[in-house]
Amino acid sequence: MKCTICRGQAALEIRRHNAAFCAPHFLEFFERQVERAVRDQKMFTHENRVLVAVSGGKDSLALWDVLLRLNYRATGLYIHLGIGAYSEESRAKSVAFAQSRGADLIVVDLPQEHGMNVEELARNSGRVSCSACGLSKRYIFNKVAVDQGFDVVATGHNLDDEAAVLMGNLLHWQVEYLVRQAPVLPSTHPRMVRKVKPLYRIAEREAAAYAVLRGIDYIVEECPNSLGARSLLYKEALNMLEAQSPGTKQSLYWGFLEHMRPRLAAVQEGVTLRDCLHCGQPTTGEVCAFCKMTERAAARMRARLVRAQPASSGPPPEETVAAGVPAGDAVDPAAIAGEPIGLPSGPDDRA
Amino acid sequence: MKVILHHPRREMQVEGKRRVADLLRYLNLNPEAVLVIRGDQLLTKDMEVGEEDVVEVRPVVSGGERERRRAP
Ligand code: SF4
Ligand SMILES: [Zn+2]
Ligand SMILES: [Zn+2]
């Protein structure tokens, strides 16, 4: 197969564009697509400080790499979740990438800062792992961005991620998530940072190809908690359609942006956000979902420790306190800002 | 040829030389969901891989967060 531009040996066929590119021309194509996404959607400028949510996977590292090459002011943020070997390896790869590019990487260690890894947080707060994980990541991304004066958080969600989320939202008519699905989620509060997805024009396979051709050493293995996720089923279904009918994913998602977004934006309702009484981050309730989760988990953990001790020592068991914490959360502010909750918010939420 | 696969990472031997498209069909993999890599080169579906080659078939699909809520 020949490169559509130079007739040299092609490295990647892009059937949805009826094209094939050699390595240099593919890299050029990729950069142009990202640049175009950033400009068309007015995501950020060269003056803005961009915080890139880095997971050590192909999408986030490819995104960070291309933003640096395009001379954007991009700093990485890696959240260490404490998910065994997966977390160790993904942190090592993120740190190595930052060093190789001479780029700044902020590392937040969840177990160190909140005393629990994702599994413990989930178990002690009565959530499933991905729920505790996603909530923590959204909270920490926003908090770090606001505290350190970043203008925008960029995540590595690609076309396939967005198409799969859209498909899930349509299959289950999750109207409130549909209304908020967009490549740019504007800031709705002074302490709620703007979120953008500069890879929404890039197919997942192209993001992986970019990483390989740039020699980026990313983590290929997946988080053990992702096995059997429904989003993977949707992706598989979409890829079956794509194989028979190239351009399906693009037509689904870009068509949604073109035809439905403007109509949905018109009906989008504003929500009033106020400050969390405990941490000051914006929330719809009195106490934000993250504080509720961590406080509930900490109370449970203390109760366990107390029970494990001889009866007369220590304060009375706090089980009642833990049980008194309502299980239902205030709406997660990040969700209001637009992250669909019923389905994956994507790989690079997957930090 | 030696074929490196993932999830979990493993290796297998495949006899004879084949086109990439045929290799993927043989492995029952959707070409949309993988990259075929030889050394630092990406292979398109019409390229041939030979008996002596080592190729990696790398999945590109990721991001499977489990649903945060049970299905309605
Ligand atoms: S699959 Fe993603 S969201 Fe779920 S625990 Fe792993 S990293 Fe977190
Ligand atoms: Zn070329
Ligand atoms: Zn709070």
A223 Cα: distance to centroid of ligand 2 (angstroms): 36
Q: Which residues line ligand 1 (CB under 6 A)?
A: A 83, 118, 129-130, 133-134, 223, 225-226, 350; B 65-66
Residues of B in CB contact (< 8 Å) with A are: 6-9, 30-35, 37, 40-42, 44-47, 58-69, 71-72
What is the model's pLDDT at position A54? 98
Q: Residue A198: how many CB atoms within 10 A of its CB?
A: 30
The residue extents of the domains of chain A are 30-283
Instruction: Supply the pLDDT for residue B66.
Output: 59
pLDDT tens for the 351 residues of chain A, in order: 999 999 999 999 999 999 999 999 999 999 999 999 999 999 999 999 999 999 999 999 999 999 999 999 999 999 999 999 999 999 999 999 999 999 999 999 999 999 999 999 999 999 999 999 999 999 999 999 999 999 999 999 999 999 999 999 999 999 989 999 999 999 989 999 999 999 999 999 999 999 999 999 999 999 999 887 889 999 999 999 999 999 999 999 999 999 999 998 887 777 789 999 999 999 999 999 999 999 999 999 888 888 877 655 545 444 433 333 344 444 444 444 433 333 333 333 433
Look at residue A325 in the predicted model and tell me its pLDDT.
38
Architecture of domain B2-59 in CATH? Roll (3.10)
Peptide bond into A262 cis (omega under 30): no
Q: Do A227 and B32 touch (CB under 8 A)?
A: no
B58 membership: H or E segment, kind and range = strand B54-59
Amino acid present at A83: I
| Contact of A124 with A315, CB cutoff 8 Å | no
pTM of the entire predicted model: 0.88
Query: Residues of B with CB below 8 A from A213's CB?
Result: 42
- The contacts of residue A343 (CB under 8 Å, 6+ apart) are A164, A165, A168, A169, A174, A177, A230, A231, B65, B67
> Rounded to an integer, what distance in angstroms lies between the CA atom of residue A111 and that of residue A82?
7
User: Rg of the Cα trace of chain A?
Assistant: 21
> Cα distance from B14 to chain A (closest Cα, Å)?
23
Is the CB of residue A225 less than 8 Å away from at least one CB of chain B?
yes
Select from A57, A134, A209 the Cβ nearest to the Cβ of B62. A57
CA atoms of A208 and A239, how far apart (whole Å): 15
The reply to whether A241 touches chain B by the CB within 8 Å rule is no
Taking only the tens place, the pLDDT of each residue in A124-175 is: 999 999 999 999 999 999 999 999 999 999 999 999 999 999 999 999 999 9
* Tokens coding A179: 């209304």
- CA distance linking residue A75 with residue A142, whole number of Å: 14
Q: Where are the alpha helices (DSSP H) in chain A?
A: 23-40, 58-69, 84-101, 110-114, 118-125, 129-147, 159-171, 175-180, 204-213, 230-244, 248-255, 261-267, 289-308, 319-324, 333-336
The ranges assigned to domains in chain B are 2-59
- Does the pLDDT at position B29 exceed 60? yes
**A242: chain B residues, CB-CB within 8 Å:** 32
Chosen for mutation from A9, A59, A60, A205 (greatest number of chain B CBs closer than 10 Å) is: A205
Statement: residue B67 has pLDDT above 50: yes
Residue B36: CB partners within 8 Å, gap ≥ 6?
B20, B23, B24, B42, B43, B49, B55, B56, B57, B58
Q: Quick one: fold of A30-283?
A: Rossmann fold (3.40.50)
Q: Taking chain A, what is the end-to-end CA distance rounded to the nearest angstrom?
A: 36
Torsion sign, CA atoms A222, A224, A226, A228: positive
Q: What pLDDT score was predicted for residue A347?
A: 37
Residue A218, pLDDT score: 97
Pick from A104, A219, A123: which is nearest to B7 by CA? A219
Q: What is the CA radius of gyration of chain B?
A: 15
Q: What is the dihedral of CA A238, A130, A155, B43, to 10 degrees?
A: -50
Q: In 3D, which of B65, B62, B60 has the Cα closest to residue B36?
A: B60
User: In angstroms, what is the span from residue A282 Cα to ligand 3's centroid?
Assistant: 8
